[in-house]
Amino acid sequence: MNWASWADFWDMGGRAFYVWGSYGLALLLMVGELVILSKSRRTLLQRLSLMQNVAAEEETDETKA
Amino acid sequence: MGINWFKFSSPASFYGLAGKMIPWFYALAAVLFAAGLYISFFVAPTDAVQGEAYRIIFIHVPAAWMSMFIYVVMAFWAGLGLAFNTRLSSMMATALAPTGAMFTFIALWTGSLWGKPMWGTWWVWDARLTSELILLFLYIGFISLQSAIDDPRRADRAGAVLALVGVVNVPIIYFSVKWWNTLHQGSSIKMTGSTMVKEMLIGMLIMALACWMYAIGAALSRVRLIILQRERHTGWVTELLARGGK
């Protein structure tokens, strides 16, 4: 075992800033990318269905006229 | 001409196939990250010379590998799209770029946080660091160029030319530590010598595999968005939307 305690683990031999700064950013970017991807999927699907509904309505209007 | 090959080269069928594969890649990535991080922090011993800060390599090296590897794959798909006018391969190239740029940024960032305690500096303009920075600019250039062109097929072609020219940079990054006298250390993957004990090597390879699975999952998720966007006027997208996007 490398660590005597959790405090020892988080301290990283006095290099906590560098080690956790590295892993922290990597985690932030990867999770961030996944969040952005799922959000843009939702937005895109909403926008496309909206466009489709508008197109469908225009078509029925034209047939009525 | 293989039949199966061409079936999945149509965006419509690939959309479905990718949707089925994505959860598996994310699940694999999660399991591999858990195992890789456990080995990186609890199994791999403290480095005799570099202390605990060396543990940055378990994310730094895999991210740097991915940054180069994704670029080559991106240039390959872009080139294929340019040569054979295959839409899906161009879309795949576009989908890979942001993930590749992200890994390049992680490699640079973690390298900087490594450099400060080890070398006493955040940044030097040596061959390895400079060529990796150029890689980030190539990704950013590819993304901006494509988003600046409205016609998707023209954007694909312009991006492909940039991606293919930029591929020259990848061997420069890789061999820079051999060709020039750099501050960056040489390859750690050498079984001889005391720099790399077995547990460290295994930890690094598992982390690399995890990044790989993550990158495939993210790129497939993004390519599905691009497919939907570009095929929005086709019948199958209309049907898909009618089913609520499933």
ipTM confidence score: 0.88
Please state, for a pLDDT cut of 70, what percent of chain B lies above it. 92
Cβ(B11)–Cβ(B231) below 8 Å: yes
Task: Point out the residue among A12, A18, A29 whose CB comes nearest to the CB of B114.
Answer: A18
Could you tell me if B128 and B111 are in contact, meaning their C-beta atoms sit under 8 angstroms apart? Answer: no
Disruptive mutation site among A1, A19, A25, A42 for chain B (greatest number of B CBs within 10 Å): A19
- Given a cut of 90, is residue B120 above it in pLDDT? no
Contacts of A18 in chain B (CB under 8 A): 53, 56, 113-114, 116-117
Q: What is the mean pLDDT of chain B?
A: 89
Are A12 and B53 in contact (CB < 8 Å)?
Answer: yes
Q: How far apart are CA B37 and CA B140, in angstroms?
A: 30
**What would you measure as the largest C-alpha separation in chain A, in angstroms?**
81
- Examine the pLDDT at A19 and tell me if it is beyond 80: yes
Chains A & B: contacts with CB separation below 8 Å: 84
User: Is there a contact between B81 and B89 (Cβ–Cβ < 8 Å)?
Assistant: yes
Q: Taking 90 as the threshold, does the pLDDT of residue A28 lie above it?
A: yes
Q: How far apart are CA B82 and CA B73, in angstroms?
A: 14
Q: Which amino acid is at A20?
A: W
CA distance A21 to B112: 10
CA distance B208 to B214: 10
Which amino acid belongs to residue B107? A
Average pLDDT over residues B34-53: 88
| Closest CB from A1, A19, A33 relative to B53 | A19
Band (pLDDT 50/70/90 cuts) for residue B7 is: low
Best mutation target, A35, A37, A41, to test chain B (most B CBs within 10 A)? A37
Alpha helices by DSSP H, B123-197: 127-148, 152-166, 169-179
Q: Report chain B residues whose CB lies below 8 A from the CB of A30.
A: 102, 214
pLDDT on residue B140: 97
Confidence of residue B190 (pLDDT cuts 50, 70, 90): low
Which region among B72-81, B117-126, B203-212, B219-228 has the lowest average model confidence (pLDDT)?
B117-126
Q: Is the pLDDT of residue B1 over 50?
A: no
Name every chain B residue with its beta carbon within 8 A of the beta carbon of A6.
none
Give the pLDDT of residue B8: 66
In A, which residues are within 8 Å of B236 by CB distance? none
| Model confidence band, residue B11 (pLDDT cutoffs 50, 70, 90) | confident
Other C-beta atoms closer than 10 Å to the C-beta of B50 total 18
CA–CA distances in Å: residue B207 to residues B48, B51, B117, B157, B189: 22, 20, 23, 34, 14
**Which residue from B minimizes the CA distance to A52?**
B238
A25-39, B104-118, B231-245: least confidently modelled range: B231-245
Q: Which residue has the higher pLDDT, B239 or B164?
A: B164
- Between chains, do A22 and B238 touch, taking CB under 8 Å as contact? no
Tell me the mean pLDDT in the region B14-39: 95
* CA-based end-to-end distance of chain A: 80
Query: Quick check: B102 and A29 CB within 8 A?
Result: yes
pLDDT-based confidence at residue B4 (cuts at 50, 70, 90)? low
For residue B22, pLDDT over 80 is answered with: yes
When comparing pLDDT for A52 and B147, which is higher? B147
